[in-house]
Amino acid sequence: MGLTIPKKRFDSQRSIVIGFKDFMSISDIFDTSQNILGGRWGTSLIIAVSIKEPPTAAFVPKNPFQDMMQNKFLDEESSDVCFEVSTVEANEDNTSRARTLIPFRAHRFILEICAPMLAELFGDGEPPVVTVNDIKPDVFHQLLWYVYGGTVPETPLKEYAKDIIDAADKYSIVNLKLEAEAAYVESTTITADNAMDNLLYADAKKLAVLKEAVMDFLADNGGEVIGNVSLDQFPGHLVRDLLVATTRRNEGDSGRDDDFTTMRVSELRRKLHEKGVGMNVDGSREAMIEALRSGAAAS
């Protein structure tokens, strides 16, 4: 509309402000020569606002390495080694069991980097084929897919949790073992009936989170445990873990950030990971605490 309204300086009670004390006088608004009012009856005040949007960030595709790696999963043309995973099925007459070998083709170079213990099965030379008898084909498929950078879906991770834990533990695929352990703990309710079995399994496989879950149950349900759980098989070296759980229950989880004594297993693992000593996350509380203290002393 071509009308310029000057800024005016005025005082407020708190500070001096620069702004518009009076936007415009009534006479200016009704002055037809100013072309301010419009509409059929000349009584509409039209205000045009123009907003300029900032340009969006340039689209850049993600690094394609992971997709390229996964595209080579079970690729027959480029693979140079093969696992033959055996499966045993009952015959129709149930008189005997048939043994079938299911091939899983792989790449020695990828195995050497991501799963060295699987690569060692092939030795230094021929033949480039090995038979695996101690893992179910479905579980081995998920295991190998993980080695190639894949993610095991939630359903099979929970359904085959213990099988995946056993396989990942045997072939030292640590992160997959920890994922399966977390899935098992999340989907398992610790009770007086299964507490001791879960504790012995956790101790055998170095499952610190599962062990902690059982210890929490024992500390929180002392009366039920004494009356229903046989402690004859309770490993003596786990008494410290039980005392930690009891102390944490009585005093809460709060504590200093550098006090590892009653710290949760997940927090100990996180600190180890941040310090770049990730292999130590697959161990007992004592081993993780010792690694953290040694690292603190070295620094």
3-state secondary structure 144-197: HHHHCCCCCCHHHHHHCHHHHHHHHHHCCCHHHHHHHHHHHHHHCCCCCCCHHH
Q: For domain 67-154, give its CATH number from 3.30.710.10, 3.40.50.11540, 2.40.40.20, 1.10.357.10.
A: 3.30.710.10
* Closest C-alpha to 4, from 21, 19, 24, 22: 24
Q: What's the pTM?
A: 0.74
Ranges of residues in the chain whose predicted pLDDT is under 50: 1-3, 5, 7-10, 12, 255
Closest CA to 241 of 257, 222, 219: 219
Chain segment 178-215, per-residue pLDDT in tens: 999 999 999 999 998 999 999 999 999 999 999 999 99
Backbone angles phi and psi of 272, in degrees to 5: -65, -40
Encode pLDDT of 106-129 as tens digits: 999 999 999 999 999 998 877 799
Q: Where are the domains of the chain?
A: 8-45, 67-154, 193-299
